[in-house]
């Protein structure tokens, strides 16, 4: 089977440094294994991800030398490659879970979910305590008259462990660390967790390279792979980039977007600087992605958050 990596951007604006680093390493990891890259546009949130951003993203990737073998507007055998066009596919997998009796409606408001009395993860996000799990048929009918429900997956009290190709072993208890999670939002949009699993499996993805902010989503996704009887890829999570003062980079704070970078640097200068950050080059010299294939190795990539040197960008 051909080794297959992917770019899975959510185009809600121009790419920033974190997206760029992730795209470069996903590309290198797949290409060094003699594999290919699929470009999937994660525009489930249609209002935030208009098509112009996806088109811009393709132009940006191409300019940096990060080509893809199938997907995006290029198309390919496993399309469509825009999540906004894959509703029927998600629905067919969602139905399997529903028919297995594993899905229930949740009418909780945002305020209820975030209530101080609800258990929370370390990062402050609430763990769903199963408030709506035991509603009777009649209660569900009554509540549905007031508001449309989100649909949640029943999770067992089970710890899911896996070995990340870069960060090593990670484990999470589905019930106590996460709780029953949403498969379809109240507005009818299928949730990222379901879409990403179905897409990676149907697109033949064998390796997923992405930011460590998604590490804790992985046990949920592995559980879905198991329930849906789909083959799971290997995962490689990347450390996050921090601003020189130690803050998390964010678009809101105006942190380095590609738009700013392109005014100052050529594509080869941008790629070389990213490779330097990733430990692949000793100096931030110019490089193309193709030139980096022979020097790429996961052992060189830092495992803890990377703080941007002050004058690098």
Q: Is residue 190 a contact partner of residue 90, using CB atoms and an 8 Å limit? A: yes
- 72 makes contact with ligand GLU (CB under 6 A): no
Stretch that binds ligand GLU, among 6-14, 167-175, 258-266, 289-297 (CB under 6 A): 6-14
d(CA 108, CA 150): 8
For residues 242 and 10, the answer to whether their CB atoms sit within 8 Å is: no
**DSSP type of residue 231:** -
Q: Token pair for residue 42?
A: 């994660």
Asked if 10 is part of the footprint of ligand GLU (rule: CB under 6 A), the reply reads yes
* Piece in contact with ligand GLU (CB under 6 A), picked from 2-10, 175-183, 242-250, 275-283: 2-10
24 burial class (0-12, 13-18, 19+ CB within 10 angstroms)?
A: buried
Q: Verify binding: residue 238, ligand GLU, rule CB under 6 A.
A: no
Query: Given the complex with ligand GLU, which of 20 and 196 has the nearer CB atom?
Result: 196
- Does 210 participate in binding ligand GLU (rule CB under 6 A)? yes
Does 230 bind ligand GLU (CB under 6 A)? Our answer is no
27 to 56: interface string for ligand GLU, x by CB under 6 A = ---------------x--------------
Per-residue x/- marks for ligand GLU, 177-196, CB under 6 A? -------------------x
- Smaller CB separation from ligand GLU, 249 or 268: 249
Q: How many CA atoms lie within 13 A of 35 on its CB side?
A: 20
Q: Contact 212/240 with Cβ under 8 angstroms?
A: yes
The two structure tokens encoding residue 11: 């185009």
User: With binding defined as CB under 6 A, does residue 58 bind ligand GLU?
Assistant: no
Q: Is residue 41 classed exposed, middle or buried when 0-12, 13-18 and 19+ CB atoms within 10 A define those classes?
A: buried
Binding region for ligand GLU (CB under 6 A): 8-10, 42, 196, 210, 214
């Amino acid at each position: 089977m051909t080794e297959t990596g992917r770019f899975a951007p959510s185009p809600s604006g121009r790419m920033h440094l974190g997206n760029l680093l992730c795209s470069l390493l996903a590309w290198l990891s797949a290409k060094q294994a003699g594999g290919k890259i699929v470009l999937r546009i994660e525009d489930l949130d249609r209002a935030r991800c208009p098509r112009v951003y996806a088109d811009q993203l393709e132009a940006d990737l191409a300019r940096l030398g990060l080509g893809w073998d199938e997907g995006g507007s290029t198309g390919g055998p496993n399309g469509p490659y825009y999540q906004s066009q894959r509703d029927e596919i998600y629905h067919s997998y969602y139905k399997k879970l529903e028919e297995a009796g594993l899905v229930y409606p949740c009418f909780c408001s945002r305020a209820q979910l975030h209530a101080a009395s609800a258990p929370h993860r370390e990062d402050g996000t609430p763990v769903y305590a199963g408030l709506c799990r035991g509603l009777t048929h009649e209660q569900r009918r009554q509540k549905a008259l007031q508001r449309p429900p989100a649909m949640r997956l029943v999770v067992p009290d089970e710890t899911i462990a896996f070995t990340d190709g870069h960060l090593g072993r990670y484990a999470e208890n589905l019930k106590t660390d996460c709780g029953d999670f949403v498969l379809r939002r109240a507005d009818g949009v299928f949730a990222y967790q379901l879409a990403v699993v179905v897409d990676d499996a149907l697109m033949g993805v064998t390796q997923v390279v992405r930011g460590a902010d998604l590490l804790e989503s992985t046990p949920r996704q592995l559980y879905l792979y198991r329930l849906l009887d789909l083959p799971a890829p290997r995962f490689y999570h990347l450390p996050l980039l921090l601003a020189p003062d130690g803050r998390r980079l964010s678009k809101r704070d105006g942190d380095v977007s590609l738009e700013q970078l392109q005014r100052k640097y050529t594509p080869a200068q941008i790629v070389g600087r990213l490779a330097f950050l990733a430990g692949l080059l000793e100096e931030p010299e110019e490089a193309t992605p193709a030139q980096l294939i022979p020097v790429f190795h996961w052992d060189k990539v830092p495992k803890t958050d990377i703080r941007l040197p002050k004058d690098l960008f």
